[in-house]
Structure 1
Amino acid sequence: MKEEEVPQDKSDLCKSNIKELIYATDKDGNYTTTLSTGWEPKTIALSNSLKEINERIEIAKTQVINGEMSPIYYFMELNRMDISILSSYVEMWKWRVKRHFKPKNFAALSDSILNKYANAFNISLVELKNFKSE
């Protein structure tokens, strides 16, 4: 793509004044870099993925409120983590982290284990223990 053809469509990147570095060809046909504010197909894909993430967060919140899951599950979704990432942050086996998603098991956890989760989510122990739906 030629340097002057690099798309400058409005995207979510524009809202935060972030521009993406794109490779293009200059007038002489040599590769160079230029900045782009976004392009429509990428904007659509980004919007769709953010919508899906927000839906998963809302589902997790509802499950915690209904007593189906523990706050650990909600904060994992809120922080865009999966079970593998969370287990590596808290240095526990995945099967053990999954057990902590159950409210009964969560209630029995010690403060030292809960602190590992709180640190991984960058929240206080009190916030983790006393989940409040925003």
Structure 2
Amino acid sequence: MKKEEVPQDKSNLASANIREMVYAVDKDGNYTTSLSSGWDPKTIALDNAIKVIEERISIAKEKVLKGETSPIEYYMELHKMDIPVLASYVGLWQWRVKRHFKPTVFKKLKEKTLQKYADVFEISLSELKQIDA
């Protein structure tokens, strides 16, 4: 795309005064960089992805409040992680992290294990143990 054709559509980035660097062709036919404030298709895709993430967080919170899962799953979703990523951060096997989602297992976890999760999520132990409605 030519440098003067670089999209400047309104996006979430533009509202935060953030611009994205893209490659374009200048008037001499050489590749150069240009700043873009947004591009409608990309904005739509990002907005849809954010909606999916927010829905997953909401579902996880409801499950915690209903006693169907532990707060670990909620905080994992809130921090945009999945089980493999969380397991690597806390230094546990994936099956153990998934097992810690069970409320009965979560209640029996040692403080040391809970502290690992709290450190990863950058919250206190009390915040980890109790989610407000």
TM superposition score normalised by structure 1:
0.97
State the shift of 1:22 in Å. 0.4
State the partner residue of 1:98: 98
For residues 20-66 of structure 1, the C-alpha deviation after alignment (integer angstroms, 9 at most, x for no partner) is 10000111111000100110110010000000000000000000000
State the shift of 1:15 in Å. 2.1
Aligned pairs for 1:52-67 (under 5 A) are 52-67=52-67
SS in 1 for 2:32: strand
Report percent identity of matched pairs. 62
- Measure, in 1, the Cα distance between the counterparts of 2:14 and 2:118: 33
TM superposition score normalised by structure 2:
0.98
Are 1:40 and 2:40 an aligned pair?
yes
- Measure, in 1, the Cα distance between the counterparts of 2:29 and 2:126: 59
Amino acid across the alignment from 1:117: Y
Moved over 2 A (4+): none
Amino acid across the alignment from 2:87: S
Amino acid across the alignment from 1:34: S
RMSD across aligned positions (CA): 0.6
State the shift of 1:132 in Å. 1.5
Unaligned 5+ residue runs, structure 2? none
How many positions carry a matched residue from both structures?
A: 133
- Measure, in 2, the Cα distance between the counterparts of 1:104 and 1:85: 23
Are 1:132 and 2:122 an aligned pair?
no
State the shift of 1:83 in Å. 0.2
Aligned pairs for 1:1-134 (under 5 A) are 1-133=1-133
